Amino acid sequence: MHDLTGFQRDILYVTAGLEEPHGLAIKAELDDYYEQEINHGRLYPNLDDLVDKGLLKKGELDKRTNVYTVTERGVREIEARREWEGQYLEDVNAPTTS
């Protein structure tokens, strides 16, 4: 996961969290998070990169709509990232002593 951009990580996390992760659903979630519209020219090449890296699998929902699912490798990468982040965030809510 270290070689992904922050945007690609966000795509991976959003895809993992959606029931039916097709391109427009992923885009809508990212639009809300970034509080601006994500253009297709940014989203779809990054989705393709994640497919090429083996983190997402691309299938067809119908003739016009692709559906994306997180691969087993993608799940392992998300879990490893969360574990890595957790070691630094473990005490974030702990009261500080001054």
* Residue of 22, 77, 79, 28 lying closest to 53 (CA atoms): 77
Residue 23 has pLDDT above 70, yes or no: yes
Q: Is residue 14 part of a domain?
A: yes
**Spatial separation of the C-alpha atoms in residues 97 and 3, rounded to whole Å:** 37
In terms of residue numbers, what domain contains 51?
6-91
pLDDT higher than threshold 90 for residue 12: yes
Q: Is residue 42 part of a domain?
A: yes
Residue 76: pLDDT over 70:
yes
What's the pTM value of the predicted model, to 2 decimals? Answer: 0.86
Q: Check pLDDT > 90 for residue 92.
A: no
Confirm whether 46 is domain-assigned: yes
Task: Spell out the residues 6+ positions from residue 50 whose beta carbon is closer than 8 angstroms to its own.
Answer: 4, 8, 11, 12, 56, 68, 74
- Number of domains forming the structure of the chain: 1
Question: Looking at the domain assignment, is residue 1 inside a domain?
Answer: no
Residue 40 lies in a domain: yes
Over the stretch 29-59, which tens digit does the pLDDT of each residue have? 999 999 999 999 999 999 999 999 999 999 9
In sign, the C-alpha dihedral spanning 76, 80, 85, 91 is positive
Average per-residue pLDDT in the chain? Answer: 92
The pLDDT, as a whole number, for residue 77 is 95
* pLDDT, average across residues 76-81: 95
Domain membership of residue 97 (yes or no) is: no
pLDDT for position 1: 80
Question: What is the Cα Rg of the chain in Å?
Answer: 15
Instruction: Give domain status of residue 50, yes or no.
Output: yes
Residue 21 lies in a domain: yes
